[in-house]
A = this chain, B = another copy of it.
Amino acid sequence: MGTVNGESEPGGTSRTRRRAARPRQGASMADVAQLAGVSSQTVSRVSNGFPGVTEDTRAQVLAAMRELGYRPNSAARALRRGEFRTLGVITFSLSTMGNIRTLEAIATSAAEHGYAVTLLPVAVPTQDEVNGAFSRLGELAVDAVIVIMEIHLLDAATVSLPPGVQVVVADSDAGDRYTVVDTDQAGGARDAVRHLLDLGHDTVWHLAGPEGSFAAQRRANAWRTTLTEAGRTPPPLVRGDWSAESGYRAGLRLADEPDCTAVFTANDQMALGLLRALHERGRRVPDDVSVIGFDDIPESASFLPPLTTIHQDFAEVGRLCVEGVLSKMREGGAEHGTTLVPTRLVRRESTARRPG
């Protein structure tokens, strides 16, 4: 390590020593300016694409930049401009496909706006962990934050944000306290139930997600409400845990319900398990039982039969999160509210008119 410096050489100027101490520094504006024979301000103008520079001068500066391999120092930029051009994303693990797709869309959309994305993973969804993520945030180089997290975790956290840092929350329904972007869970569930009622089914069974999940709860509520409003009696709720395996177990039970001709499953994975159980029990889909899912994961088009489902536009959610947080930054807006992203019914082959 020490051998690199060559400190034994006595004549080293302080400049040389500094360089040696921080070898990763590249060329600065001053270096480029000197080589190009202009002032550093002109280099800055070229670097930022500002007007007021002759074509000749610009070319000369660009040449010098290339020769020195100049890269603007983003720390100095951020310090000078007072902003980092970076968005922080707090998310509880990347375990669900929806979160990931949302994150991906956020990253892409942020890049389009010239923003980078910094990830703040929360390993365990405890209150402490979430609090920790938010306080670490204070020291982090971000201008705004997007939280992808169910609201009950956020609720528990003592959220204290650095001044001037805006927040948008995805996957939540706390529109009264935060700016929220979310899929229209209720609308999607309503469309699913209505689709089955329109096909002539007397009622619709529901295979719900776990109790802890607000998304599951909202879908279940909308299912119940829609049935009640249509004058039907909601059958007993069947609960899974989002997994295909839990859908399979639920399916074995539902296969034994003779008057069960239509099932709305709270996600596609559980629908997959359900399809398998019904198939094993000799209940044909869609001839005997219609099944509709939720999410429209890539595989659902390849299920047997291809699954009718409710498409969620995660990409749009991510995009709106970014736009929302950027506009809040510009306008300093503090007002809350929820932006709902509509779902779309995707008709495939797992639903049909009521038998008989």
Contact = CB atoms under 8 A, between A and B. Distances in A.
Interface residues of A, number: 60
A241 to B, nearest CB: 11
Contacts of A163: 24, 26, 69
B94 A162 contact: no
A123 interface: yes
Main secondary structure of the interface of A (DSSP, over half): mixed
Nearest to A121: B107
B164 A26 contact: yes
A127 interface: no
A53 B165 CA distance: 32
B116 A121 contact: no
A72 interface: yes
B121 A108 contact: yes
A8 interface: no
A199 to B, nearest CB: 26
The number of times this chain is found in the oligomer is 2
Given A24-B163, A139-B74, A276-B304, A104 B108 contact: no
Contacts of A117: 118-119
A100 interface: yes
A94 B100 contact: yes
Contacts of A108: 121, 123
B22 A82 contact: yes
A148 interface: no
A25 B164 CA distance: 8
B119 A299 contact: no
B82 A302 contact: no
Interface string A63-82: 00000010111111111001
Contact of A141 (B23, B139, B141, B298): B141
A178 interface: no
Contacts of A141: 74-75, 78, 84, 86, 116, 141
Interface in A222-277: 243-245, 248, 269, 273, 276
A224 B24 CA distance: 46
Given A76-B79, A273-B302, 5 more contacts: A79-B79, A86-B141, A93-B104, A119-B119, A269-B299
Nearest 6 interchain pairs by C-beta: A24-B164, A245-B302, A75-B78, A75-B79, A71-B138, A74-B141
